[in-house]
Amino acid sequence: MNPQIAVRPSAPADMARVQEIYAGHVLRGTASFEEEPPDLGEMCRRREAVLAAGLPYLVAHRDGAILGFAYAAHYRLRSAYRHTAEDSVYLDPSATGGGIGKALLAKVLELSAAVGYREMIAVIGDSDNAASIGLHRALGFRHVGTFTRVGFKFGRWLDSVLMQRSLHDTDATR
């Protein structure tokens, strides 16, 4: 990764830029199955929910300019899933290919493991999202399934690719 890039916990002041990056993905991409970008208030509410769960919500920046963000959230809300999280990584289009996504996701994995999560799930929008699939594979995720044609956006059917990575030894102890 470029040594000028830093990854740090997000702050409330970062959220306007985070919302802007995410809105671009919603409006022009298939990584998110949302079709209307959430407003700033909703993005702040989502961040607060992540932090209240003790999970990381991070930004990557260069000289204070936010280039991307990543976080982990509960995979499902039912209690049996309490040791499993789902990651999300979004970059400004100008910031792809430089290791920023990898740095963000690696830190999300490290911090999620540190607070006791055992498994990380990636639900990747669109089978054609080679960059996200490759990023997750590079950090030890394995493909565990594909839901075919479960989303409809931009006039076409989209798949969800499921990948998984253990954060701790895979023994059955609690």
Domain ranges in the chain? 5-166
The CATH homologous superfamily of the domain defined by 5-166: Gcn5-related N-acetyltransferase (GNAT) (3.40.630.30)
Residue 1 has pLDDT above 80, yes or no: no
Rounded (to 5) percent helix, strand, coil in the chain: 35, 35, 30
Question: Sorting pLDDT into bands at 50, 70 and 90, what band is 174?
Answer: low
Per-residue pLDDT tens digits for 69-123: 999 999 999 999 999 999 999 999 999 989 999 999 999 999 999 999 999 999 9
Share of the chain above pLDDT 90, in %: 91
What pLDDT is recorded for position 173? 55
